[in-house]
Amino acid sequence: MPTILRPEEVRAKYGPMFCRAFFTMVDEENGIAQIIEQCASKGPSEWDAVNRKRAGGILRDVRVEGTTLITDVEIGEKPISFGAVSEMMGGQGISMLRVEGDRVRTRWSGLAGASVGIGACIPQCEDVIETVYPPGFKMGGAHSAEVEIVTPKKTRVIIGVDDTDTPVAGATWVTTMKMGRECPVGRLLDHKIIQLNPRAPDKTTNCCSTAVSFAVKPSEKDALVGFCKDYLAENTLSDETVMAVFEGLRIPGPLAEWGWNAKKVLYTVREADEVAAANGVGVHRITGEKGAIGAVAAIGCFDMGLRAAGVEEDFD
């Protein structure tokens, strides 16, 4: 019979380890998911990233940002292969992610030292619901191990905001940063500053909008949106504040293209509403409507990295 342990039971059995966060976000419409891990050190994250790439399985991409490991996977199941050098090097991989109601189940394999990561480190993170160990489980040394880790089902929600300041006071990026940090719902993931068309006639100074993303349980989305709407209504200095909302891990291509073009094109509010409606973005007018352009563009540019913060000339 398998053994099922909760995080506190894993900690009691193996002693305190180093995983500070471990949660999964799913996008069932697109058949993809993202696993976020925060480690106490950058080194284990880098080692895991390289070895997960080598193993394949359901992995689509993996990257390290500081001590955070971000793993993009497909929803489903595929075999992993540690390769011919596995006996000399060890390895780690993910072969399955399955959505089970309000839970997500992932299957991990590890060789040698990597077996400790999947058997004792991740499973004791407070974000984990439980870990399933097969009969005769052993880890460390030359052992090969496999476990299934169960976490709450979460999704990514992006909140785009524009026009909370005036030419003499305020800054939208500051307002949204405070909003994200003070939000009692979900987990704050990222905060992005989006450079828009500097020739816009109604800009304040920099012509930037901003967006913040959260990992939330599906049941928490309405509470998140409600908090952000109320926060902006109470803290904006502008009569034209707008908030846009998108849920998912993949920004639609037409929305991303529109967001990029907003760095050089002077769009209208009507055009912002149209592209939002066509790409699953909810638009909430807080105090006015002009902020719709920047709020929608912020979502379109959210996953562009450095390109989101610049204009076309910066990347020629």
* DSSP labels, 186-225: SEEEEEEEEE--TT-TT--SS-EEEEEEEEE-GGGHHHHH
In a domain, 265, yes or no: yes
Q: How far is CA 271 from the centre of its chain?
A: 28
The rounded distance, in Å, linking the Cα atoms of 285 and 156 is 22
Angle at 220 between CA 217 and CA 225, to 5 degrees: 125
104 in the same domain as 37: yes
Number of domains making up the chain: 2
In a domain, 49, yes or no: yes
Q: Tell me the β-bridge partners of 162.
A: 242
138 in the same domain as 191: no
186 in the same domain as 295: yes
300 in the same domain as 220: yes
Structure tokens at 217: 């349980």
169 in the same domain as 112: no
The rounded distance, in Å, linking the Cα atoms of 159 and 212 is 5
The rounded distance, in Å, linking the Cα atoms of 211 and 232 is 13
The rounded distance, in Å, linking the Cα atoms of 249 and 253 is 12
In a domain, 287, yes or no: yes
219 in the same domain as 139: no
In a domain, 81, yes or no: yes
Domain boundary among 99, 130, 153: 153
| Distances in whole angstroms, Cα of residue 275 to Cα of each of 25, 157, 240, 293 | 25, 18, 19, 10
Which pTM value belongs to this model? 0.93
In a domain, 253, yes or no: yes
Helix (H) or strand (E) holding 162: strand 144-162
The rounded distance, in Å, linking the Cα atoms of 220 and 186 is 7
Per-residue pLDDT tens, the chain, 316 aa: give them: 899 999 999 999 999 999 999 999 999 999 999 999 999 999 989 989 998 998 999 999 999 999 999 999 999 999 998 765 545 556 889 999 999 999 999 999 988 778 889 899 999 999 999 999 999 888 876 778 899 999 999 999 999 999 998 766 778 999 999 999 999 999 999 999 999 987 766 656 668 899 999 999 999 999 999 999 999 999 999 999 999 999 999 999 999 999 999 999 999 999 999 999 999 999 999 999 999 999 999 999 999 999 999 887 877 6
CATH of the domain at 237: 3.30.70.2200
In a domain, 158, yes or no: no
DSSP 121: I
In a domain, 234, yes or no: yes
266 in the same domain as 302: yes
146 in the same domain as 178: no
Domain boundary among 130, 153, 176: 153
133 in the same domain as 66: yes
Please, which residues have CB within 8 angstroms of residue 256's CB and are 6 or more apart in sequence?
300, 301, 303, 304
Show the domain range for 241.
163-315
Torsion 209-214-219-224 (CA) sign: negative
In a domain, 48, yes or no: yes
206 in the same domain as 276: yes
The rounded distance, in Å, linking the Cα atoms of 21 and 36 is 7
Domain boundary among 122, 153, 184: 153
Torsion 111-114-118-121 (CA) sign: positive
85 in the same domain as 21: yes
146 in the same domain as 243: no
